[in-house]
Amino acid sequence: MYQKNTTANRRVLRMKVNGMQLMEGGSVKDHLKAMTEAFGELSIIGSPMLEEDQIVQLLTSLPPSYKTLVTVLENQDTSDIWDAVTERLLSEEQRSKEDRQLLSPSADEKGHGSHGSRWDYVDSAQENKLLADLDESASRRSGRSVWEMKLETLERGATNEAARRKAEIDRQEAERAADLQLVFE
């Protein structure tokens, strides 16, 4: 689309790249494709972005749910390799999808009848915010950590083998986190 290396074309393409944001629940693959195309357009007009700048732009375009992964990537030596970063993002998206499938009750478990579930009318970003707020509030009232409460809920509500496996993995991660916290205290 932009074939000449003019100030206006460079500015329009840079603004396009700067304005790109992955929406919560959006496709990482589609987002990566759009960003790669924009970076390619900049290269075609003779104004390529350095790989490091591309990675910074990518990481800043991610939604809040990727905050932990972004922090990890920022602190690793591989954070300057585009392929390593994009591979981690795609695997994180896949893991998140699998987690949601494991933890989402089936239509039968939700008790769908003529009225459905109250969660049917809440999108995933709203649901995550509501659940986080509820977790934090309940944690303060009970004096237990959010992780302990989530684990207890998962263990209590585990109705199939996959959910029980997930609860065990979360329990092990919580134990490791507690062990690390003791080491650093």
Closest CA relative to residue 93, chosen from 63, 120, 128, 121:
63
Greater confidence, 83 or 101?
A: 83
pLDDT of residue 115: 46
Q: What are the Cα distances from residue 176, in Å, to 43, 85, 171, 179?
A: 45, 25, 9, 5
CA angle 141, 143, 146 (to 5 degrees): 90
Q: Is the model's pLDDT at 68 over the cut of 60?
A: yes
User: In this predicted model, which residue has the larger pLDDT, 127 or 110?
Assistant: 127
Kindly report whether the global pTM for this prediction surpasses the value 0.85: no
* The pLDDT of residue 102 is above 50: yes
